[in-house]
Amino acid sequence: MDENNDNYQFVLEPIHNFSGSLIAYELLTKFASSNRPFDLTQGDDNLFYPLSQSDRLSIFRQQITLLDELYQRNDTIPKISVNIDKDIAGEITSSSSLQEKIAQMPLLRFEICEFFTSDSDNDESSLLRELTKICPLWLDDFGAGNSNLTLVMKGEFEYVKIEKNFFWQHGSSNAFRDLISHLNAFCEGIIVEGIQHAKHEEQLRTLDITGMQGYHWEPVQIDAMIKRLH
């Protein structure tokens, strides 16, 4: 994959708390094609994961390079999370050069979801333990199907992120409130995805939520942010 490819770009999606403060970003990859322009309001997991392993690793290395430059230019930038899959996780744990870069970014976080479950085999469990030694982990897309309480109860995750469709479907229920309380016992905080308007924000205000993420807040292109810091 051409590292100067015009068919994708990297954006930072903000995560806010109830006071309005920015507490973190998630670094996302947005794709375009001849008949599909960039759309910063749409997720692109369905375009990222079908890529070859080498292309996904290439994109990840570009992300790490950009984040390294961003943190070097401004040490007040908050935590930034990056999604990784099983292949990328394996590359991280086997590459000393990657680990050295990651060690220089103490506010970097890795988000994992679909390749770990409570029934992970010994190899996956070992990979998870190795990752936690390299970088704090966030569990992404809780409620989407693969993630469950048994996995969270292992205590491997700094934050747990609630999947947007799960929030839209259950966010006003007492069961959702109980779930948030239970999850908080096993991690440092909960982030809810899918916040599209002020009513969603108000819906969560009485819950013990650390952060909120969604198209209620405008994402920022990381290249533009780096240029402003020159």
Residue 118 has pLDDT above 70, yes or no: no
Domain architecture of the chain: domains with CATH: 8-155+218-228 (3.20.20.450)
User: Mean of the pLDDT values across residues 45-56?
Assistant: 76
For the chain, the average pLDDT equals 87
Of the listed ranges 8-22, 110-124, 173-187, 190-204, the least confidently predicted one is 110-124
- Who contacts 167 (Cβ-Cβ below 8 Å, separation ≥6)? 143, 176, 192, 193, 194, 200
Sequence-distant (6+) residues with CB within 8 A of 191 are 15, 24, 138, 159, 160, 161, 162, 209, 210, 211, 212, 213
Model confidence at 223: pLDDT above 70 = yes
pLDDT digits (tens, 9 = 90+) for 133-171: 999 999 999 988 766 788 888 888 999 999 999 999 999
Helix (H) or strand (E) holding 46: helix 45-48
Q: What is the pLDDT of residue 217?
A: 96
Q: What confidence score (pLDDT) does residue 202 get?
A: 95
User: What average pLDDT does range 202-220 have in this prediction?
Assistant: 95
Residue 106 per-residue DSSP state: T
State residue 115's pLDDT score. 60
